[in-house]
A = this chain, B = another copy of it.
Amino acid sequence: MTTSQIAVTRTSGVTTPAGFRAAGVAAGIKASGAPDLTLVVNDGPQDAAAAVFTTNKVKAAPVLWSQQAVSDNRLRAVVLNSGGANACTGPEGFQDTHKTAEKVAEVLRISAVDVAVCSTGLIGERLPMDAVLSGVDKAAQVLADTEKAGLDAATAVLTTDTHPKQSALTHPTGFAIGGFVKGAGMLAPNMATMLSVITTDAVITPQQLDEILKATTKVTYDRLDVDGCTSTNDTVLVLASGASGVQPSKEDFAEALHAVCHDLVRQLQGDAEGVTKEISVTVQGAASEDDAVAVARTVARDSLVKTAFFGSDPNWGRIMMALGNAPAQIEADKIDVTLNGVLVCQAGGRAADREGADLSGRDIEVLIDLHLGEAAATVLTTDLSHDYVEENSAYSS
């Protein structure tokens, strides 16, 4: 995951591009009374949309609905709720999603098939539909294109997240991209278990939007792996209004989208459940990019590597153990491992004294050189801490 050169701001999100209104309200879905329903509306003139969904074979009702809704590459609105995933809820759960989309369509005077639905929270429970439907009314009444409305939208989707996560930029050529993301647990590849809505006022065809989104998520959201758990609800949506009148080059748009997605993913990493270390695992010298990703992901996901890092322990032997399990071409006696700039393992054996690598800070950079080829990749992860265990042993009950 390379760092983009374009500057982003985290003070605004989906309402930065022209043509969008948003809202986030407390609908009463969460027992706590916290905000729990978000609405994002594309007022046009265009309505191109693209999406990427979870690879989990158990898909929540809103994922099944939204896959259909976006199949024509057009969306006018997205409604999202926290307080319940609406997953493993059977035909009734799907009807609840359908009703929610119908309600949004009714209040906005659009078609239900142009409304995507996202849900997050506990799996296996029906949503309180009275609260959801009245929440849609409430949200529609306060839709606005202001920074505050964007922040409200980013806030009402949160579950165990500790703060809203937004990112936006205005490109020198005159178009803007903004977005928000939620996610703190079940963070794994092929949609880093989360919900993300991105807006843009660029003029772009649905086909280009789809192509660029898929290429971008592959190297941003898909390269975060907090706990190896891919959720039933992961969704990334991008909506284009065309309201800027600017038609960017493919390269400019791809670079800008990458900058926003990369920044959102870094915020997901920093707000992951129980995180005390932000770890990047870079593999270079791989025979292929797939191999580089496989090795980096296997190391990033290994419980013994992650607990060692929680303890600030430069235990490179566990990294060697982990990468030996990766489904990739490796030769143990060629491998170098560098921890925060200190070469601790050279040609598969001990190099500098491991204690020379200082891992006491929040950031840990792991560099693995396989010395087999030219391909490289980076996967982001976090440590496995007491707080991770604590948060996840007490979530549903």
Contacts and interface: CB of A to CB of B under 8 A. Distances in A.
A316 B122 CA distance: 10
Given A56-B325, A90-B333, A324-B56, A186 B304 contact: yes
Interface string A324-338: 111000101100000
A130 to B, nearest CB: 19
Contacts of A347: 90
A232 interface: yes
Contact of A389 (B232, B326, B386): B386
Given A354-B124, A393-B311, A332 B228 contact: no
A322 to B, nearest CB: 7
A58 B328 CA distance: 12
A302 B354 CA distance: 30
Interface in A380-397: 384-386, 388-390, 392-397
A310 B87 CA distance: 23
B315 A395 contact: yes
Contacts of A206: none
Interface residues of A, number: 67
Integer count of this chain's copies in the complex = 2
Given A304-B185, A348-B88, A317 B397 contact: no
Nearest to A188: B325
Contacts of A397: 311, 313, 315, 355
A331 to B, nearest CB: 8
10 contacts: A56-B321, A57-B332, A90-B349, A123-B318, A185-B304, A229-B302, A229-B322, A308-B396, A310-B393, A315-B397
Interface of A: 55-59, 85, 87-90, 93, 122-126, 185-186, 188, 227-232, 301-304, 307-308, 310-311, 313, 315-318, 320-326, 330, 332-333, 345, 347-350, 354-355, 384-386, 388-390, 392-397
